[in-house]
Structure 1
């Protein structure tokens, strides 16, 4: 279940720089135990980087993910991934597949792109 989020906080967080949104995601995921992404009948949304690498976009709250469910992704819905499953199943799977993570892209598509291992390290530090 997502944490409470009002319009003022939503707007404030979206106005942060990409590295600040990254840390915000780490803090919220550590506190509330879920990662959010977009999902449809066809599967999870995957972006392509400039270097033609697969990249899964993730957010700390479904409202931020919903804002991206437009255009080609209009049929997508935010879907939560529990932190335990994320760390034990998703991180190793993405590492094996060579999938990167677009952490909390904002309205301007600016976000931090990291490897699954880098995100796992940040989460483990926040959890300890």
Structure 2
């Protein structure tokens, strides 16, 4: 299975999303995966979105198979709120909160994710 032990791997997607928001808010950074084309995108049912993680180790867990060439990248919370949230809303993309192997994670609208971060 996974080569790391992380407390978020053992909780439900809903709890993982809540804890991810809290960890991002307290650490003031969000982790994404990037490749030569930019930010990694995922498709869930009919929605396209950007997966986000609270730390580099969890982002790196996703960087396997088709995403093996991807690198984790940190984005400051300020930059996320000022640039990424409006851009994702404009492009009608969603946030996939802390996907882990075998699970896509909770899907949130960018404005809901931003509101949760501000509340945390």
TM-score over 0.5 (shorter chain) = yes
- Separation (CA, whole Å) in 1 of partners of 2:52 and 2:17: 10
Q: Deviations over 1:20-77 (max 9, x none)?
A: 11111111111110000100111111011211x2110000001001011111111101
1:110, distance to aligned residue in structure 2 (A)? 3.6
Where structure 2 has 5 or more consecutive residues not aligned to the other structure, the ranges are none
Runs of 4+ in 1 over 4 A off after TM superposition: none
- Separation (CA, whole Å) in 2 of partners of 1:100 and 1:34: 18
**What count of residue pairs does the alignment treat as equivalent?**
117
Tell me if the contact between 1:14 and 1:107 (Cα under 8 Å) persists in the aligned partners. no
User: TM-score when scaled to structure 1?
Assistant: 0.87
The alignment partner of 2:62 has SS state of coil
Alignment correspondent of 1:4 = none
Are 1:77 and 2:81 counterparts?
no
Summarize the alignment of residues 1-128 of structure 1 with structure 2, pairs less than 5 Å apart. Answer: 8=5, 10=6, 12-51=7-46, 53-126=47-120
Question: Over aligned residue pairs, what C-alpha RMSD do you find?
Answer: 1.1
The alignment partner of 1:67 has SS state of helix
